[in-house]
A and B are shown apart, each in its own frame.
Chain A
Amino acid sequence: MRAEKITVQDVGKSYNTRHGPVMALDGITFSVAEGEFLCILGPSGCGKTTLLRILAGLEKEFSGWVEVRAAGSQKPINAMVFQENSVFPWMTVFDNVAYGLRMRRVPRELQRTVVQRYLELTGLAAFSRNYPHQLSGGMRQRVSVARAFANDPEILLLDEPFGALDEQNRLLLQQELLRIWELDRKTAVFITHSIDEAIGLGDRILVMTARPGRIKAILPIDLPRPRELVQIKGQPAFVALYQNIWKLLSEEVLRAREKEILPLALAEPGTKDDLYEKTISRG
């Protein structure tokens, strides 16, 4: 048994909204071992992002207990790849990838070598002087991934990094991510709502219930590494896992759908399409 890197104990979180409190997470308990790649799978709105933000220390108000064991080195504890486009539009690709290093006052020379390395690993080397608006969506997500890896954190937190991409791009980036991750096998928590992705990337899969997010199951994935994502898809172990997870998830998706009328009334305050969504749901 490897040492535990992340421990999450009975974590709960509820948001206060105009319509009263909304429970996003409830009784979440799990741990992630040093060097493990954990995938979290769950229906939309079940609290995956909330959980990751708690792990990242971006969300401070929650109940329960979270510990990330730092190795006591100079490395930052975590780096997050955000679900939405989080690449700074006002910085070049190079400056975006160098951001964490720059903020930590890493010597310039070292910054340059590290950034160059990850630009090459993500196939962005030719674009280092470009601004994000000159890149495709897939390339922007690559920048976001490179930025997280270049910062050399103790744990990696990835929130559906490839969710907005098309099938081919996604497969390409998944394979790329695996290849980079294999280099030093950092502890990683990876959120997705694609079953394929979870099985292909993870050592274990944590399946969550519909809101309020609870843990429905934790499943080990016994596929050998390094993996070729296209090849493992046909393997019996993959198919069996896929069917098992689909059964668990479809129950939850159906359960979430039954409550569909409720979430509309509970829509987050202040979001841009707030009014719009209300308008179409009435019409």
Chain B
Amino acid sequence: MLTEGRLSRIVSVLSPLFLLGLWETLARLNYLDVRLFSCPSRILGALFPLLWSGELLHHTLISLARIILGFFAGALPGVILGLSMGLFPMVRAMLEPMILATFPIPKLAIMPLILLVFGLGETSKVFTIAIGVFYLVLINTMTGVINIEPIYLDVAKNYWARRFDFYLTVAWPGALPMIFAGFRLGMGTALLLIVAAELSAARAGIGYMIWRAYDMFDIERMFVALMTMSLLGYVLAKGLDWLEARVIPWKQPSR
């Protein structure tokens, strides 16, 4: 039987396959310039040696390590500061102007400064990602705390929640969904920034692979790197989903 759901699953598998087929056909018929757009068979041809030699894995792991390190280095202070700013108006009054003034600066614009300060090593790459993640997590966490339904504050008061109990039983769980929304945005930014960070003075990483391929005009290698990037983004997003389902078991399955 072909149910609605089953049909749509079949369609969503077939349509990319169809597009790949079309790409290949157009390339073979010389309607597409393979020097610029390559074609699936050539990309596959480039993929296997990169896989067997372990080169792709090497670059992927290096990028992954930078992303994860940078993510934690940005998310942790983001959550802590965001919670304090949400909970204590004095802290908010103190820090908010600075945060709001520096937030709109594109993180790419401060990369040269980061390079000057931290040099060409790992620190500058991790720091670039961390700073991008930091702002998004901070702002989401703060908003999450501030926007907790006032009725829950009344309940906590009515049932004699002490200060610390209130943080633990209302503020933290109440803000968690927003904190995770911040993580999600932060992860997107981290993927963006890793490529930029590996543009300058890197000797490995997926971003480095892309720029190297550009220098050498190796389109197939570039496509392999782009595909890896997309896979990396998918895996990291799924990882966050997995974590969220464990940390927020009360969340309604909406998607």
Contact = CB atoms under 8 A, between A and B. Distances in A.
Interface of A: 53, 56, 58, 76, 78-80, 82, 84-86, 88-91, 99-100, 103-104, 131-133, 147, 151
Given A90-B250, A131-B249, A131-B250, A100 B159 contact: yes
Interface in B154-169: 154-155, 157-162, 165, 169
Contacts of B162: 103
Contacts of B152: 86, 88
B250 A76 contact: no
A115 to B, nearest CB: 14
Nearest to A87: B155
B62 to A, nearest CB: 38
Nearest to A133: B252
A175 B151 CA distance: 27
A147 B160 CA distance: 13
A90 B176 CA distance: 10
B77 interface: no
A275 B252 CA distance: 28
A99 B250 contact: no
Interface of B: 151-152, 154-155, 157-162, 165, 169-170, 173-174, 176, 248-250, 252
B170 A88 contact: yes
B161 A86 contact: no
The B interface is mostly helix, strand or loop, or mixed, namely helix
B176 A79 contact: no
Contacts of B155: 82, 86, 88, 99
Nearest to A53: B154
Contacts of A84: 151
B159 A151 contact: yes
Nearest to A104: B160
Given A84-B151, A90-B176, A78 B158 contact: yes
Nearest to A101: B159
Top 7 nearest A-B pairs (CB, nearest first) are A90-B173, A131-B250, A100-B159, A133-B252, A90-B250, A103-B160, A103-B161
A267 to B, nearest CB: 17
A100 B161 CA distance: 8
Given A84-B151, A131-B249, A76 B173 contact: no
A82 B176 contact: no
A53 B162 CA distance: 19
A133 B250 contact: yes
